[in-house]
Structure 1
Amino acid sequence: MKEAVWGTAQRWFPDRQIYHRSDGQVRYFAISTGVQIGALLSATVLAGWLCFTTVSVAFHGRALAAKDAELERERINYHRMVAEAQANEATVISFMESRMEEFDRTAYEFQMRHETLRQLVDFAEQLTGQDMEPSPALDDGRVLMAATPADPTPREARDPLVNVAALSSDAPEDQISYLMGEQDTVLAQAEDATEARLQNLRAVLRLTGLNIEDVIAENREGEERGGPFEPISASDFIATPSSAAGVELDDAFSSRIARIAARLLEVEELEEFVDAGPLGVPIGDTYRQTSDFGVRIDPFNGRPTPHRGMDFAAYRRAPIIATGPGRVIYAGWRSGYGRCVEIDHGYGFVTRYGHLHEIAVRRGDTVERGQRIGGMGSTGRSTATHLHYEIWYNGSAIDPERLLRAGQYVQQG
C-alpha cells in the first residue's frame, strides 16, 4: 500500500532538475518527489490557513461591526438617557425655582399685608377723637345709631373646620393661606369698626343741623396744604416705599385697604371737628336756661325782637368756660354785651360770651375746651346775672342748642 501510494506520488511528482546558467556556467537544482510533495503540502496548508484566516477575519469583522453597532446604540441610548436626565433635572430645578419664587412672592405679599394691616391699625389708634355715647336719640325716642365703635357687630370668621385643618397642616402654603384668612378677618373687623365709628360720628354731628361735609371742606380750604393729587392705595401704608417695588397686592385687598383708609381719614376729619368745634356747655357749674334762640319779647321795651343766642343763669361769678378750643379774637367791652369774649374755633365758627362780670383771657390767647375765660355777671344790656351765649357760623348766628345737643354725646376725657 505504501509502495503504491509512493508510486502514484512519483508519477504525479517525478524528480525534476532545474538548470540555471549564469556567466557561462551552468548549474542545476534537483527537486525530488518528496520535496515537491512537501512543497505542495506546505502550499496546501498555507492556502488553507489563508482561507481560514480570511474567513475568520471576515466573520470576526462582522462580529466586530455588530459589536460596534451595539456599542454605538448603547452610546446613543446612554447619551439620550443623560440628556433626558439633564432635561428632567432642569425641569425639576425650574419647577422648584418657580415654586420658591411663588412662595417667596406669597410670603412677601403676606408680609406686606401684615405690615399694611399693622400700620392701618396704628393709624386708627392715632385718631384722637373723643369717646361718644353709643345711641343719640331724637325727641320721639328713635335711635340714630344702634351700633357703637367700641362694640361693633363682628363678622363671622371663616369655617372653623377649615381653620382647624389649616392649623394642623404643616404645609407652608396652608399656613400662609390660613394666616391670610385671619388677616382678612381682622380686616373685616376693622372695616366694621371703622364704619360703625363713622356712622356714629355722622349721627351725632347730624344733630347740629349743619352740612358737615361743607364744614369739613371749608376747613380743608382754610389750611395751608398742597401737592399733586394721587388716589390712595394700599402701598401708601407701607413704611418703606422701595420695599413694595414689584409687589402688587391683590385687587380685593387693595380695594378694601383703600376703602377703609378713606373711611379712617373721614373719621379723622370728623373727630378733628368734634375736638375743635364749640360743642361744650359754656358754664362750668350748675345752671338753668332762661331764654332760647329766636324771636322773643325784648325785656326792656316789650317788643318782638330777634335773639341771636341763648341765655343761661347761675350765681354771680359762676365760671364761664370755652365750649371748644380756639383763639381769643376779642376780649373787652362791647355795646349791648357788656364785658364780652369772642373765640375763633376754626371751621367758620365763632362763639361769643356776653354780660361777664370779669374777663380772664386776653386777645390772642389760645384756649382749650373747658378753660375758664371769665365769670358770670350782668354787665351791658342785662336785667340780671346771666350769660348770653352766641354761636356764629360763617358770619351768621345759628341756634346754639343744635351744637349743645350734639355735644351731649361727646364725653370729655
Structure 2
Amino acid sequence: MTDESVGWADRTVQKIRRLLPERQIIIRTEGETSYLRVSTALQVGVIAVWVGVAGWVGFATVGFQNQKDMIAEKADAISRSRQAYRKLLDQVSDYQLSIVGITRDLKETEAHLRGLFSQNEELKQDLSSTEVALRSSEEERNRIASARKQMNDQLELFGSELRQITGKNNALEAHIGTLRQHLAVVEAEKAEIAAERAALDDRLWGLHNELEASNAKVTLLESNVRALKTDLRTVILERSAVAVDNDTLRAQVADLESTLDTERDAHRRELVKISDRTRGQIAKVEDVIRRTGLKLEKVVPVAPKNATGQGGPFEALLPDMTLSDEDDALRVELEQRLERWEQVVGFYASMPLSKPLTKYTVTSPFGTRVDPINGRRSVHNGVDMAGPYKQEVTATAPGVVSFAGRRTAYGRVIDIDHGHGLVTRYGHLAKIKVKVGQKVDLGTVIALLGSSGRSTGPHVHYEVRYNDKPINPSKFMKAGTHVQQQAKNAK
C-alpha cells in the first residue's frame, strides 16, 4: 500500500468522523441520569444497513414491476392463444365433417380394393396353369395400377372440391350475416310504419268522434229551436191568463198582510229571546276571559256608546213593508250584541284553555321562585309540569307553529301562534313532531316530554304570552276547567 492511498484513507475516515461525530443520548429515569453512547462506527453501520435495505427494496420493486409486466404480457399471449385455439376448434370441427365424408369414400374405395385383391389372388392361382393367364394377370395388374392412380386423382379432386366448398361456406356465412342486418333494418322500418299507422288510426277515430259530437250538437240546437218556438206560443197564450191571476193575487196579498202583522208580533218576541240569550252567552265568555287574568277592555274592547254612525241605501225586507221604531231599536240592539258575540267568541276560540299533558305534577309555578340550578331568586315566566319521560305533549289551542328548534335555556322548544296576540311556548322537549308554518288543532300531538336545555329532569316548561308578555298559564287551565264544569252542569 502506497503513502498516497494511506493518506486518502485517512482523509476519508476524518471526513466520516466530522459528518458522524460520536453522540450521546441522555436517558433520565426516576431521577437517575444515564448516557447511551452512539459511536461513529455504529452510525456508519446503521447507515450502511439502511442503504442496503433501501437498495434491496428498490431492486425488489424493479424486479416486481418487471415480473408484473411479464405476467401481463403472458396473460395477453394466453388470451390470444385461447382465441386462436377457439378458431382452431372451429376449423377442426369443419375438418372433422369433411374427414367423415372422405372416410366414407375411402371405405367404399377400400371395399373395392379388397375385391380387386381377391381377384388378384384368383389370378395368381391361375398364373401357374397357363401363360395366357399370366399375361392376363399382368394386364390386370396394370389395370389395377391405373385404377389406383385414378383413385389418387379422385382423392386430390375431392380435396380441391372440399376446399372450394369451405370457401363457399364462408362466403355464405358472410352473406347470411348481411341478410340478418338487412332483416333487422326491415323489421325496424316495419315497426315504425305500424306505429305511424296506429297513430293515423287514432287520429281518424278522434276525427270521427268529433264529427259525431258536432252532428249531435246540431241536432240538439235544432230541437232547442223547435222547443223555443213552442214556448213562445205558450207564453203568448198564457199572457192573457196572467191578467186573470193578478186579480186573484191581489186578494191573497190582502190576506197575507193581515197574517204578516201576526208574524211580526211573533218575530219581535223571538228577537227579544235571541237578544237576551246572546247577552247571557256573551257574559259567560267574558267571564272566562276575565278568569285567565286578561283585561277584557284591552283584549276585546267594547265599541263606544256614542259610535252611532250608520247609513246606506234603503232596501225593504219585503215590498211595502216598514218597521216600527220599537222594532228598529230592537234590531239595532240585537245587531250590536251579535257583533259583540262574534268579537268575544273570535278571541275565545284562540285562547289556550286546555292542558298540554294528561299526567303531570306542577313542580314550579308562575312568578318568583328559587332557581333550581343556582339557588338564587329569579322570575319564572311559565309553569313547569313534570311527567313520564317521552309523554305526548299536545297543543292547547288551534294555531300555527311559529318556531320549532333549539334555544339555549329552553333546549328543544316550540312556539304556536294562536292569533289575537296569543302565543304558547313548550320547552325542554325530547322530540319535536311539527314544523314551522304547520297548522295544528286543539289536542294535536306536537312533541314528546323531555329534559333538554337548562333542566333538572323530565318536564315541560309551559308559557302563555299575550303581545309578547308572559301570563300565568295556571289561570288559563283553571278557566278551561271552569268551562268544562259548566258544560257538564248544562247536560
If the length of structure 2 is used for normalisation, what is the TM-score? 0.44
Tell me which amino acid in the other structure corresponds to 1:183.
H
Distance in structure 1 (CA, Å) of the matches to 2:396 and 2:345: 16
Structure 1 residues 133-148: aligned runs within 5 Å? none
Counterpart of 1:280 in structure 2 is 354
Counterpart of 1:330 in structure 2 is 403
Distance in structure 1 (CA, Å) of the matches to 2:254 and 2:290: 46
Counterpart of 1:265 in structure 2 is 339
Distance in structure 2 (CA, Å) of the matches to 1:338 and 1:294: 21
RMSD over equivalenced CA pairs, Å? 3.2
Structure 1 residues 6-405: aligned runs within 5 Å? 173=258, 176-216=260-300, 231=310, 241=315, 244=318, 247-283=321-357, 285-405=358-478
Distance in structure 2 (CA, Å) of the matches to 1:405 and 1:385: 23
Q: Secondary structure at the match of 1:269?
A: helix
TM-superposition CA deviations, 1:204-259 (whole Å, max 9, x none): 211122123422359x9xxxxxxxx96389x99xxxx4655764311111111121
Q: Secondary structure at the match of 1:270?
A: helix
Q: Residues 254 and 106 from structure 1, CA distance in 2 versus in 1: closer, same or farther, beyond 3 angstroms?
A: farther
Tell me which amino acid in the other structure corresponds to 2:292.
T
TM-superposition CA deviations, 1:59-105 (whole Å, max 9, x none): xxxxxxxxxxxxxxxxxxxxxxxxxxxxxxxxxxxxxxxxx89x969
Report % sequence identity. 35
Deviation at 1:336, TM superposition (A): 0.6
TM-superposition CA deviations, 1:99-149 (whole Å, max 9, x none): x89x969956xxxxxxxxxxxxxxxxxxxxxxxxxxxxxxxxxxxxxxxxx
Counterpart of 1:126 in structure 2 is none
Counterpart of 1:52 in structure 2 is none
CA contact (8 A) 1:341 1:353 kept: yes
Number of aligned residue pairs: 234
Q: Residues 298 and 370 from structure 1, CA distance in 2 versus in 1: closer, same or farther, beyond 3 angstroms?
A: same
Distance in structure 2 (CA, Å) of the matches to 1:395 and 1:317: 28
Distance in structure 2 (CA, Å) of the matches to 1:184 and 1:245: 19
Distance in structure 2 (CA, Å) of the matches to 1:282 and 1:230: 45
Tell me which amino acid in the other structure corresponds to 2:299.
V
Distance in structure 1 (CA, Å) of the matches to 2:479 and 2:311: 31
Q: Could you tell me which runs of 5 or more consecutive residues in structure 2 were left unpaired when the two chains were aligned.
A: 1-249
CA contact (8 A) 1:312 1:387 kept: yes
Structure 1 runs (4+) deviating above 6 angstroms are none
Distance in structure 2 (CA, Å) of the matches to 1:246 and 1:184: 19
Q: Secondary structure at the match of 1:375?
A: strand
- Which of the two has greater helix per residue? 2
Distance in structure 2 (CA, Å) of the matches to 1:254 and 1:106: 25
Q: Residues 247 and 389 from structure 1, CA distance in 2 versus in 1: closer, same or farther, beyond 3 angstroms?
A: same
CA contact (8 A) 2:429 2:450 kept: yes
CA contact (8 A) 1:328 1:363 kept: yes
Distance in structure 2 (CA, Å) of the matches to 1:406 and 1:232: 40
Q: Residues 252 and 318 from structure 1, CA distance in 2 versus in 1: closer, same or farther, beyond 3 angstroms?
A: same
Tell me which amino acid in the other structure corresponds to 1:215.
V
CA contact (8 A) 2:350 2:422 kept: no
Deviation at 1:268, TM superposition (A): 1.8
If the length of structure 1 is used for normalisation, what is the TM-score? 0.51
- Of 177-186 and 265-274, the range deviating more from structure 2: 177-186
Q: Taking CA–CA contacts closer than 8 Å with sequence separation of 6 or more, which of the two structures ends up with the larger relative contact order?
A: 1
Q: Residues 384 and 264 from structure 1, CA distance in 2 versus in 1: closer, same or farther, beyond 3 angstroms?
A: same
CA contact (8 A) 1:322 1:373 kept: yes
Q: Residues 106 and 194 from structure 1, CA distance in 2 versus in 1: closer, same or farther, beyond 3 angstroms?
A: farther
Q: Secondary structure at the match of 2:403?
A: strand
CA contact (8 A) 1:232 1:258 kept: no
Deviation at 1:188, TM superposition (A): 2.0
Distance in structure 2 (CA, Å) of the matches to 1:278 and 1:201: 14
